Amino acid sequence: MELKAPKVFKTHEEQLEILKERGLYIEDADEALLILKRINYYRLTGYMLFMKKNDEFYPGSSFGQAVRMYEFDEKLRRILLGVVEYIEVSFRAKLAYYFSETHEPLGYQNSENFEFEEAHQEFMSYLKDKITKSRELFVMHHKKQYGSQLPLWVAVELFTMGMLSKFYKNMKTEDQKVIAKNVFGINPGVLSQNLQSITILRNTCAHYSRVYNKKFSAGGVKLPSKIKNSLNKDKLAAFFYIFKNMLPEIEWRRFFNAFNVLVDEYDDVVKYEHMGFYDGWQDHIN
């Protein structure tokens, strides 16, 4: 197939004119131009994909609606990052405590405590590089007092969500089971998949990418068969099942209420089904 030539540069005024010609109602042209100077055209039009078909906007579609969807997504990402932070920090603590108690403080450096030696060596190489380059006060203090051999409860504070996921995935099966069953009440395979999925969500939010109506990759979240018709495994809704299982009840309620309040605030432009929530979803989640 012959590739198309890259599109030519368009001024903000020309960008706005293109939207008008395609049927988008512009409430205030001057305000719209200011917004296009602040938010990249390509970024903002990502929220207009649901408002048109074959480059023609549906009747009643407006620039203001797209901006409100954008604002909703901004606020949604902040709420989601708060939840991911809670899970990440909590999981660090639980992982470091159990592993240090079971395998000694420096046991994480021994490949015999993991399933795959090569994966462990790659992990340690990456971690050692982070430790060497780190300017965190707690790392510098420990190096000065004890040298560069950090016990796991110190080193784990340098772990990203992705590193936590990889560390857990490569743990011995018996260790995985203890954490999965005793801490979260789920099987190790589900927890491992959940951690990978949370990593994807975390990176999406941290890079300010669109979450609303997004189809997430990596095969989606593993859901029980009884709720597959209520939550789309490839959309945001599936993460709610993860959150419900990994958060204490009070934290879950705080998040769940904040989410519903936000949706109510923007109910003129956003829909639950666009995020993968279908009939009966609240009953299954709660």
44 in the same domain as 130: no
Q: pLDDT tens digits for 195-223? A: 999 999 999 999 999 999 999 875 567 78
227 in the same domain as 116: yes
Answer whether residue 75 shows pLDDT above 90: yes
276 in the same domain as 238: yes
pTM of the prediction? 0.91
- The label of the residue with tokens 């997504």 reads 73
Q: Of 159 and 7, which is predicted with more confidence?
A: 159
Answer whether residue 97 shows pLDDT above 90: yes
Q: Is 110 within a domain? A: yes
pLDDT number for residue 220: 64
Q: pLDDT tens digits for 239-275? A: 999 999 899 999 999 999 999 999 999 999 999 999 9
128 in the same domain as 40: no
105 in the same domain as 24: no
Q: Is 7 within a domain? A: no
pLDDT band at residue 40 under the 50/70/90 scheme? very high
d(CA 111, CA 108): 7
pLDDT band at residue 1 under the 50/70/90 scheme? low
Residue 147 sits in which domain range? 70-285
158 in the same domain as 102: yes
Average confidence score pLDDT of the chain: 93
Cβ atoms of residues 157 and 193 within 8 Å = no
Q: Is 1 within a domain? A: no
Q: Is 136 within a domain? A: yes
Kindly report which listed range (80-89, 163-172, 233-242) carries the lowest average pLDDT score.
233-242
Sequence-ordered list of residues with C-beta below 8 angstroms from that of 187, at least 6 positions apart, any chain? 177, 180, 181
- The label of the residue with tokens 């296009």 reads 36
pLDDT number for residue 217: 72
80 in the same domain as 54: no
Q: pLDDT tens digits for 156-176? A: 999 999 999 999 999 999 999
Q: Is 3 within a domain? A: no
| Average pLDDT over every residue of 225-245 | 90
Query: What burial class does residue 208 get, using C-beta atoms within 10 Å of its C-beta: 0-12 exposed, 13-18 middle, 19+ buried?
Result: exposed
d(CA 163, CA 187): 20
pLDDT number for residue 280: 86
210 in the same domain as 265: yes
